[in-house]
Structure 1
Amino acid sequence: MTQLFISNLKIMYRNRQTAFWALFFPLLLVTVFGLFNMNEYSKSKIGILDLAQNESSSRLINELNKVQGWNLFIEDEPNTLQNKLESGALEYAIYIPKDFSNTEPFINIQYASANDVGHQVIAATTRDTIQRLINPNYTVTTIENSINKEPTNYFDNVLLGIIGLAITVNSVISVTIQLSTYRNQKILKRLLATPLPIWKFFFCEILAHLVLVLVQTTIILAVGSFVFDANIYGNLLYIYIIVVIGTIVFINIGFILSAWANSPAAGSGLGNAVIFPMIFLSGTFFPAEYLPWPLPLLSAIMPLTPMLNGLREVALSQMSLVDIWPSLLVLLVWIILSGVIANRVFKFN
């Protein structure tokens, strides 16, 4: 028994790539999760515009900035604040009017969140702070109005992130394992000796993964919408177009990784090591803005980020493909770059 145990350990050790990824990958996950500032993520994102610019308004802002559970952003322009509210970058906006003073403590609160309890908490906290700072006998009035925006929630964003997760797993890990298996079994080498044009083989391989991804996307959207009441407002055709474009990028990445994997097990580890940090750093489950600098900059150039941004802008904000052209442009650049690299590094032996 002891000898058998030692023999198995030696076999595992001989496959250096498999052993490395088996040890490195869990450490990678721990590091990625540890990088997120979850305390900041749980806070309400509130923008504030000080039109009064006086001592009373400055005191109010200083006190509101001390409220636990609030992440306060000071804005200088009304249009900037409104745009951030409409895009979902902020949940609430507090407008301090020009005539705000000790005698006229009047506040305008605007919200993009559908959380009624949250509205009441924000309004009550603001009123209490004004009364405490100015005069407890004053009756502080708040005007609460919502922007013209379809309601969305955290699950809606995560649902689209799950589509991105499914695409990366199917395209990167599956392709990497499959091609490294073909190479180990000499299937790729034998294909070169057959009359079948090699491009047809790879075209069918890519097409099969595209079909699978479209089926996955349909199932995820259907279950999320009909079973868990997810809100999907955008054009489904646009969603599928983004999915196809993104899938091509990740299939190319799978081809690249398969060239460096000397076994299917190593291909699995290598694929996981590439896609899982990307999944977490690209805002699949949590916004990348809560990562320490400079990781948000790294997130911006990852291929999953523009794909998820495009999906969310189309599905939740009802944008068209023309509206999200920056995200599509980044994906097209990734298709070209990854395609060129895959063509150079891919090997049949």
Structure 2
Amino acid sequence: MKHFYAIFIARNKEFYRDKASLSWAILFPVLIISLFAFSFADDKPQYKIGVYLNDTNPSASLNTLQDQLKLEFVQWVQQDSLPKAISKVKHHQLDMLITASSAAKPEINYWINDGSAGGYFLEQAMLQKHQSDTLALKRELVSGRAVRYLDWVIPGILAMNMMFGCLFGVGYVIVNYRQNGVLKRLKATPLNAFEFLAAQISSRLIISLTTTSVIFVGANYFFDTLMLGSYLNLLIVATLGAIALISIGLISACRTSSTELSNGILNIISLPMMFLSGVWFSLEGAHPNLQLLAQWLPLTHIVDAARAIMLDGAGLKEIAPQLWALVAISAGALIITPLIFRWDKP
């Protein structure tokens, strides 16, 4: 019992003396709880209406349109592109799409999917409210295969799995090397920092792409997932995304010598991405600040590009903004990493 007590006390002292790890253990759950409280402060209505307004002041026009239509308990989501918005109606991602060129235009066009229950009920509610007034409503009917939640979420799950493998497979491993003295011994060899880091990137990239490809093929075989775009384009997205995530993992491990601190840092990087990058739910209609924050996360660009390819058949031109964002993240991280990398413990 004496030996057990001695080890128990020693381990507790070791943890509490590591101020960085102790701080992460306290601050991390507080940050996550605060993030979720901000993200999900309001419950979302069941029905979602997309609105495309070709107007100089879309916010004011949206308010006027809402007052005109008098539909309650629905979520209004502004759309930037009419063709993309119509595609969302086809795939049941929007229950209804409404367009108007100006707030004062007497005729309002709306799109619904002939197989959407949500679109049917919204149309009936709108017609019931306006059967006795002069508001002109023009109906457009579209058809298309419903995007199952499984089809929608699989790109996010694949990207999330890649994220954890890249961050922890590089960041945590290098910190463990440093803590155990492996890097100190490697420093005495002709190996330089660039060669060491390049080998880490290449190894993890091959592992990540291989495991993600196996999961993708299995999901496609067993669940018949929707794939409308090019497999080559999807591979390009996966490659650039993996390099960006590996680069972030390298930066997190450049100077850290405690595996507990490294685990905390990697969690604070990965968990917000898992919940704010659109892996499990769409951020359409979310708070604008939350959407802006999501654009700074590499996983957001990976998920958006992969979904555009798989669900909309997008080409490289359509996903160019996401690809350039991943290239910029990778380039910045790979330039900084060799400059601040340390072989020894700080």
Q: Residues 188 and 80 (structure 1 numbering): CA distance in 2 closer, same or farther, change over 3 Å?
A: closer
Partner of residue 120, structure 2? 120
How far, CA to CA, are the matches of 1:348 and 1:35 in structure 2?
A: 40
Give the CA deviation at 1:273: 0.5
The answer to whether the 8 Å contact 1:114/1:151 transfers is: no
Partner of residue 320, structure 1? 315
* C-alpha distance after superposition, 1:258-315 (max 9, x if no partner): 1242212221111011121123222222233444342322222322222222111112
The answer to whether the 8 Å contact 1:25/1:269 transfers is: yes
Letter in 2 for 1:171: C
Asked if 1:231 corresponds to 2:235, the answer is no
Asked if 1:67 corresponds to 2:72, the answer is yes
Query: Among residues 17, 27, 33, which one is paired with 2:20 in the alignment?
Result: 17
Partner of residue 202, structure 2? 207
Letter in 2 for 1:33: F
Gap regions ≥5 residues in structure 1: 51-57
Q: Any idea what SS the aligned residue of 2:147 has?
A: coil
Percent identity, please.
25
Partner of residue 251, structure 2? 256
Gap regions ≥5 residues in structure 2: 55-62
Alignment length (residue pairs): 327
How far, CA to CA, are the matches of 1:218 and 1:153 in structure 2?
A: 21
How far, CA to CA, are the matches of 2:303 and 2:199 in structure 1?
A: 26
Q: Any idea what SS the aligned residue of 1:174 has?
A: helix
Partner of residue 58, structure 2? none
How far, CA to CA, are the matches of 1:72 and 1:201 in structure 2?
A: 48
How far, CA to CA, are the matches of 2:215 and 2:322 in structure 1?
A: 22
Asked if 1:27 corresponds to 2:30, the answer is yes
Q: Residues 206 and 329 (structure 1 numbering): CA distance in 2 closer, same or farther, change over 3 Å?
A: same
Backbone CA RMSD of aligned residues: 3.5
Query: Among residues 263, 271, 277, which one is paired with 1:276 in the alignment?
Result: 271
Letter in 2 for 1:190: R
How far, CA to CA, are the matches of 2:64 and 2:253 in structure 1?
A: 60
The answer to whether the 8 Å contact 1:261/1:270 transfers is: no
The answer to whether the 8 Å contact 1:253/1:342 transfers is: no
Give the CA deviation at 1:118: 1.6
Which is worse superposed, 239-248 or 213-222? Answer: 213-222
Give the CA deviation at 1:141: 9.2
Give the CA deviation at 1:123: 2.0
Asked if 1:194 corresponds to 2:189, the answer is yes
Partner of residue 246, structure 1? 241
* C-alpha distance after superposition, 1:302-329 (max 9, x if no partner): 2222222211111211112233222111
Asked if 1:145 corresponds to 2:146, the answer is no
Give the CA deviation at 1:216: 2.8
Map residues 40-119 of structure 1 onto 2, 5 A cutoff. Answer: 40=44, 42-47=46-51, 61-62=66-67, 64-71=69-76, 73=78, 80-86=81-87, 90-94=94-98, 109-111=110-112, 116-119=116-119
Q: Residues 93 and 272 (structure 1 numbering): CA distance in 2 closer, same or farther, change over 3 Å?
A: same
Q: Any idea what SS the aligned residue of 2:318 has?
A: coil
The answer to whether the 8 Å contact 2:238/2:302 transfers is: yes
Q: Any idea what SS the aligned residue of 1:348 has?
A: coil
Q: Any idea what SS the aligned residue of 2:43 has?
A: helix
Asked if 1:162 corresponds to 2:157, the answer is yes
* C-alpha distance after superposition, 1:146-179 (max 9, x if no partner): 16x6542433232111122112211112211100
Q: Residues 41 and 169 (structure 1 numbering): CA distance in 2 closer, same or farther, change over 3 Å?
A: farther
Q: Residues 129 and 259 (structure 1 numbering): CA distance in 2 closer, same or farther, change over 3 Å?
A: same
Which is worse superposed, 153-162 or 190-199? Answer: 190-199
Partner of residue 39, structure 2? 36
How far, CA to CA, are the matches of 1:181 and 1:27 in structure 2?
A: 27
Q: Residues 250 and 83 (structure 1 numbering): CA distance in 2 closer, same or farther, change over 3 Å?
A: closer
Q: Residues 161 and 64 (structure 1 numbering): CA distance in 2 closer, same or farther, change over 3 Å?
A: same
Tell me the TM-score normalised to structure 2 length: 0.80
Q: Any idea what SS the aligned residue of 1:307 has?
A: helix
